[in-house]
Amino acid sequence: MAPTRYILLTAVLATAGGVAINRVTGPWWLQAAVFTLAVAILGVGGFVEYRFRGQEHAAQHGSEEPAELPRTNSVYASGGANTGAHSTVNDFRGARIGYLNEQIPASGERGTRTYALFAVAGVVVLVAPFALLVAATQAPDEGPAAGVQGAPLEVTVLDVGPDIDAMGTSAVFPDPLELTAAQQSSVRAVPGAGTWPWSSDHGGVVPELLVIRLMLEGRSGIRVQVTDITALKDCGAPLDGAMIDDPPGGAGDTPQIAFDLDKQHTIAQEIDNSGHSGTYDITGDYFANHTLDTKKGDRQPITIWARTYEQNCTFSLEFTVLDSNGETRKQQVRNGDRDFEVSAYLSSVQEYREIYVAGLSKMTLLMEEGLDVGELGDEPGIREVSPQRFTEIAGGG
């Protein structure tokens, strides 16, 4: 009977734990951990109870071997016959009856201890899911495939950087770079990416307009719909340490979704490029007119722009995902193990502690110094200039 009782109570408490964890959003391994924890705790509890009762029994009755019972004819003395075998059986029977008449623990005492053990185990099983859930939701992201483990949508960050065609590959920095002439010469422009790879590796931040390219992919056969994307931002003063000016060479494509980080309430909006060439307005509500759908095997690329003219902002993206079962979940997307970041230009170049020129700006500088454009290969890297000199090159303040 005891094994059956343990099995039934284990099943009941394991089911209760499973129901508790399914009432909140959590990864699949958390639910598996609940059931495993329930079985383990109750299994150990049953084993401890069994051993404890065995030790109690040994303490009450001793562990010595019973002494050999004497062979005697006293029981059948009146018969005069030598019946040693019969006397031994009856003496043993009498000893056994005496053993059974000894005091044994009442069933109530054993039951109280047993159910107390199960009560403790039950509390642990019901509390553990929530403790594990808190630990899981606070764990840092491990890579660019961001989002919550077990969520129906996988969001992969493909690329983060400037819109090279429209904005070039300029960068601003929180602190002065203090580069020597040799270090400035070592900065190489990458075809199609300009000086941005170098700037990114050295703490540079995209000015004004950050482009985030993502890939959405369903994780299950259930079709899911992205109903909203919000930017969870933290903004401050624009960066003033240094600036590398590497201007664009042409206009680029219109992105799908944009965020104006200078607005108090930042929502996903649309891009309107119907104005002057190379200019974009952020208007409307993107998800009022569009939806994003995907399921397992589907791959949906999207491009997100985040713009600020006034401040420096770090932010993550929060996706609201609705599956075909009507369940809504939130997924947070970050740039690997850190937030995305974009900074406004300072209102005047005079405020930067260092200024470097590259690309077209550097070409203008070299031409003003009397060098032929064909000789630019003899002047690799970037060049530091004073704010006054940069103003002369750029033609503005």
Residues 318 and 268: their CA atoms lie apart, in Å, by 11
Alpha helices in the chain (DSSP H): 2-22, 28-61, 84-100, 107-137, 164-167, 181-186, 196-201, 286-289, 359-368, 387-394
* Tokens standing for residue 23: 């009432």
Q: Give the tens place of pLDDT for each residue, 257-267.
A: 999 999 998 99
Average pLDDT, the chain: 73
Residues 90 and 97: their CA atoms lie apart, in Å, by 10
pTM: 0.58
Task: Supply the pLDDT for residue 244.
Answer: 93
* Tokens standing for residue 320: 């609201």
Residues 16 and 39: their CA atoms lie apart, in Å, by 12
10 half-sphere exposure, CB direction, 13 A CA radius: 19
The top-scoring range by mean pLDDT among 26-30, 164-168, 287-291 is: 287-291
Task: Please check the confidence at residue 195 and state whether its pLDDT lies above 50.
Answer: yes
Task: Please check the confidence at residue 8 and state whether its pLDDT lies above 90.
Answer: no
pLDDT category of residue 316 using cuts at 50, 70 and 90: very high
Q: How far is CA 23 from the centre of its chain?
A: 20
Task: Please check the confidence at residue 293 and state whether its pLDDT lies above 50.
Answer: yes
Q: Give the tens place of pLDDT for each residue, 265-280.
A: 899 999 876 554 456 7
Task: Please check the confidence at residue 134 and state whether its pLDDT lies above 50.
Answer: yes
Residues 169 and 199: their CA atoms lie apart, in Å, by 9
Question: Who wins on pLDDT, 60 or 347?
Answer: 347
pLDDT category of residue 3 using cuts at 50, 70 and 90: low
Give Dmax over CA atoms of the chain in angstroms.
Answer: 143
pLDDT category of residue 336 using cuts at 50, 70 and 90: very high
Helix 107-137 vs helix 2-22: angle between axes, to the nearest 10 degrees? Answer: 30
Task: Please check the confidence at residue 206 and state whether its pLDDT lies above 90.
Answer: yes
pLDDT category of residue 320 using cuts at 50, 70 and 90: very high
Task: Please check the confidence at residue 199 and state whether its pLDDT lies above 80.
Answer: yes
Task: Please check the confidence at residue 71 and state whether its pLDDT lies above 60.
Answer: no
Task: Supply the pLDDT for residue 204.
Answer: 95
Helices (H) and strands (E) in the chain, counts: 10, 17
pLDDT category of residue 153 using cuts at 50, 70 and 90: confident
Residues forming a β-bridge with 323: 224
* Tokens standing for residue 282: 């952020």
Question: Who wins on pLDDT, 28 or 384?
Answer: 384
Task: Supply the pLDDT for residue 56.
Answer: 56
Residues 126 and 14: their CA atoms lie apart, in Å, by 9
